[in-house]
Amino acid sequence: MDTIRVAIIGTGGIAHAHLKGYMSQGSRCRITALCDIFPEKCTKLMQDLAYKDTDGITITKDYKTLLNSCDIDLVSVCLPPSLHSEVTCAFLLAGKNVLCEKPMASSLEEADRMLAAEKKSGKMLGIISQNRFYQDAWTVKKMLESGVFGKVLLTRVNSMWYRGPNYYDLWWRGTWEKEGGGCILNHAVHQIDMLSWFTGRLPEQVTAVFSNLAHTNSEVEDTGMALLSYPGSLAEINVSLNDMDERQYLQFQCEKASISVPWAVKCMKQQPNGFPVPDPESEKKFNTIFASYPKLAFTGHDGEIANVLDYLQGKGPLEVTSRHGRNALELIYSIYKAAAAHTPVTVPIAHTDPFYTKDGTLSSVPRFYKKLKSIDNAEGDITLGSAAAVK
């Protein structure tokens, strides 16, 4: 493909990151269609980013009118999670490549339908996980793979966000049916995906709790904690929508150093009695290694979209596959099951388990509050996390 023709389905807040990403790639791609149930948002999206190449762009409120278009190679799905599976499968089976926003789906069963459609169609299904494409995360991944820090003993994942009560007024947010879950699914999915990416595997067992502490117009959780057991190591995940500091990070306690994403390193050496003293020489060594890695040309959504275009043009492997997206869901719904059942859960979730299907999940999770307020459209910018979290 010389120039990849792109359709964006859903032109709300996150679509800005997609359009910006495509714009960063210049003539490698062009937008040929935009779709939203509020068509005026399609025009506003282009105006917001001063997108000039508007000639011939199809604007529609019904994605089905685009399925048979000969002018689309790649589709960005930027819709609520409950619609990801339906729309993604439709475009894959219509012969289009798809890049779907996180979370991949609102159940494991839906995710498996997407994988089946990808296999049947022979097309690409990528899942957005833009935090993998920031410099600190990419470099730490390479360093961990090299074994320079020794064995990872404990991983700590903090996914801290702040969303005010009005956040859940939007029609599709705050219900298990339409959103698929709360902050564990829709916010911590970034860090949970990265945990699976860094460890290269799923845990053997999950213990968890969750609650809704401050969002009374929402059925779903706004806080959660999980403990994960791996062979020879442990991990913890902490998630909140009530933290005004909004720090997201991963920390790895290794044999030779404690390191973090965003990048930080701390080293100690033991005295004869086992108590620690600082080890600045080792810290200097690790900082030098960190600085030696090449810099990424594009980061965040721009970086992932560049990788997708590279893959479609035969220039390299796809970094975030449909299987990666499903692995993140596997861990998320294991957390939901453990928290709802108040008992440790073995991973993976069986196809016969209620938490494999959407209906089974809906029948098994608590409704923390009843959603009473619902608006059709929300104004204002979205945020993708604090600057420090995505360094």
pTM: 0.93
pLDDT tens column, 138-157: 999 999 999 999 999 999 99
Segment 10-30 shows an average pLDDT of 97
**Which tens digits make up the pLDDT trace of 247-301?**
999 999 999 999 999 999 999 999 999 999 999 999 999 999 999 999 999 999 9
Determine the Cα–Cα distance for residues 337 and 364; give it in Å rounded to an integer. 8
SS3 of 89, please? helix
Task: Give pLDDT, residue 149.
Answer: 98
Please check the confidence at residue 245 and state whether its pLDDT lies above 90.
Answer: yes
Predicted pLDDT of residue 377: 74
Per-residue pLDDT of 76-129, as tens digits, reads: 999 999 999 999 999 999 999 999 999 999 999 999 999 999 999 999 999 999
The predicted pLDDT at position 391 comes to 55
At 20 the pLDDT is 98
- In DSSP notation, 162-181 reads B--GGGGGBTTTT-HHHHSS
**Helix segments in the chain, DSSP class H:** 15-23, 40-48, 81-93, 108-121, 135-146, 176-179, 183-186, 189-199, 280-292, 300-312, 322-341, 358-362
pLDDT number for residue 387: 41
Would you mind telling me the total number of residues written for the chain in this entry?
391
3-state secondary structure of 331: helix
pLDDT of 388 > 60? The answer is no
Sheet holding 233-240, edge to edge: 264-266, 258-261, 248-254, 152-160, 233-240, 223-230, 205-211, 345-346
Domain boundaries, given as residue ranges, for the chain: 4-130+299-320, 132-296+326-390
Query: Can you tell me whether residue 380 is helix, strand or coil?
Result: coil
Distance in angstroms (rounded) separating the CA atoms of residues 194 and 209: 21
Nearest to 85 by CA among 390, 357, 283, 331: 357
Contacts of 146 (CB under 8 A, 6+ apart): none
Nearest to 206 by CA among 184, 176, 190, 181: 184
Residue 389 has pLDDT above 80, yes or no: no
Q: Is residue 194's pLDDT more than 70?
A: yes
The pLDDT, as a whole number, for residue 385 is 56
- Owner of token pair 């968890």: 208
How confident is the prediction for the chain on average, in pLDDT?
95
Instruction: Give 1's pLDDT tier (boundaries 50, 70, 90).
Output: confident
The answer to whether 159 and 247 are in contact (CB under 8 A) is: no
What would be the CATH architecture of the domain defined by 132-296+326-390?
2-Layer Sandwich (3.30)
CATH superfamily of domain region 4-130+299-320: NAD(P)-binding Rossmann-like Domain (3.40.50.720)
132-296+326-390 and 4-130+299-320 share a CATH fold: no
